[in-house]
Each structure stands twice: as C-alpha cells, then as structure tokens.
Amino acid sequence: MILEITQYGNPILRKKCKAVEVVDDDLQQFAQDMIETMVDANGVGLAAPQVNQDIRMAVVDVSHDPECVSFLKVNGEDVSMDQVMPLVFINPELVLDGEKESDTEGCLSIHDIRANVKRPSVVKATLPQLDGSVIELEADGLLARAIQHEVDHLNGILFIDRISPAAKVSVKRKLRRLAAR
C-alpha cells in the first residue's frame, strides 16, 4: 500500500523517534508499505517519520545503481548490492568515518529543494533486522549517504540542517512556502 509522505512543516519530522520494541505482523507489513512508497516516489530511502510514524525504522534501496559504492561489507564479508537490498532496519547505530564529502541531496519530504551536504564518506552501521538478527554493514558512496540521511530523520534532523549558511539563505523562501502549505 502506498503511504502518504509527510511534508516539511509537520512536527513529526523534528522528533527523535522512539525505539522499536516489538516486531509483529503489522510492523512487517508497514516495512513492505514503506518500500512500496519509496519506490513509487522514486526515492532511495524512507524513514518512518516521513510516513507519520514515530518509530526508529527506515528502508534504503540504492540497487538501481550498483556502481554507487566502491565497497559493501556485511558482517565483515564482501557482499553484492542485491544480497542486501532493499535494506530494512530498526534502531540503528552508526559510526561515521572517512573524509567528509559534499554531494547533492534532496528529500521526499521537502519537495523541489536540493542542496550540497557534507557527510562522512564511510558508514559503519549496526542495523537490527525485523527477523531479530543484527547486521554490521560497512559501505561508502550513495549507500553510506542514504543511511546517514535516513538515520538523521530518526533523530529529527533534516538535510537542510546540514547545508552551508549560504545555501540556507538561498532556500529560506522556498522553505517558508513549503511550511505554509
């Protein structure tokens, strides 16, 4: 089922989300709905608050571009993109590493605004899965950026909070219009 994507100005996008305590059939279905919604919106990631749920869960799928990472390890082993995508995780923990790299980001909850965001180039993530297992994922490139972006959502942080002061000035008017909708 396609879910409605929460838009900029909704207070849930600024909340630190609650940990997922129980994985049941409803949560499993919600994960599938999130994936379907992300794909329908042509996104590479979607966090629960973006569909109005105050829980620490997100989905990411960058498999449309297998060259978007130079390495991908799960539990210390090299894996291919199709072995882990779409990635669904709850209650993530991140360790950020590497030089910061600047790249353009957008957000399904903030229409028509894209800006350069500096983020660490490598992510090491502890990602609990819905089946109770936990994976240790290490990656760079678009996957690292997407995971960081979605985990930011779970902490009430938006990509526009991470842009340069000059870029903030240039998008300020657009953001006011979006918030007024």
pTM of the shown model: 0.96
Joined tokens for residue 149: 């972006």
Decide if pLDDT at 179 tops 90: no
Give dist(CA 103, CA 77) in Å, integer: 27
Decide if pLDDT at 23 tops 90: yes
Determine if residue 149 is labeled as part of a ligand binding site: yes
Nearest to 98 by CA among 69, 124, 122, 70: 122
Joined tokens for residue 22: 């129980």
Architecture field, domain 11-180: Alpha-Beta Complex (3.90)
The catalytic residue positions are 150
Give the pLDDT band (50/70/90) at residue 119.
Answer: very high
Asked if residue 178 lies in contact with residue 106, where contact means CB atoms within 8 angstroms, the answer is no
Give dist(CA 181, CA 88) in Å, integer: 31
Residue 29 confidence (pLDDT): 98
